[in-house]
Amino acid sequence: MSRAPVDQGRSTSSVTAGLPDRSCSMKHFDVAAGILCDNAGRVLITERLCNGPFNGLWEFPGGKISTGETATAALVRELAEEIDIEVTQCSSFMRLRHEYEDRSVTIEYVMVSDWNREPTGREGQALRWVRKDALDAVELLPADTPVVEALMKLGR
């Protein structure tokens, strides 16, 4: 079985002699994110609304994977809750790990190739359809950078 490449991400934390290694106590989250492409080849991104440092950045829609839940099941649930669509066809695209200053995330990116209903921001978040070649100009979450690069390669 082959595995998708895992990105180690950019770590802003460091280990210094005499100080405890923060990576052992860092919070870790497993996340599923959907890559929805329309017939024009554009990708859907959503604005992140939160009280944290990522407020106002853009991301691929999705959310945390609950204990005992598969990435696909989590994504189907999250997309129904967040953007009111019913996923009817999807496949794994990429899996990566990214470390932020205060947390680490393992993200399973899923290519969503078919769905029912028009996506809408059910939680008040803005939605944008962006050409793949314009994604690098958008202020996405840092963890999404390798996905943008992979999508650009697919478009060639």
Tell me: the pLDDT tens digits for 101-132?
888 999 999 999 999 999 999 999 999 999 99
Per-residue model confidence (pLDDT) at position 17 = 35
Structural domains in the chain? 25-155 (3.90.79.10)
Neighbouring CB atoms inside 10 A of 53's CB total: 10
Beta-carbon contacts of 37 under 8 Å, excluding residues fewer than 6 positions away, are: 43, 44, 111, 112, 113
Per-residue model confidence (pLDDT) at position 27 = 92
Low-confidence ranges of the chain (pLDDT < 50): 1-23
Q: State the pTM of this model.
A: 0.80
Per-residue model confidence (pLDDT) at position 156 = 57
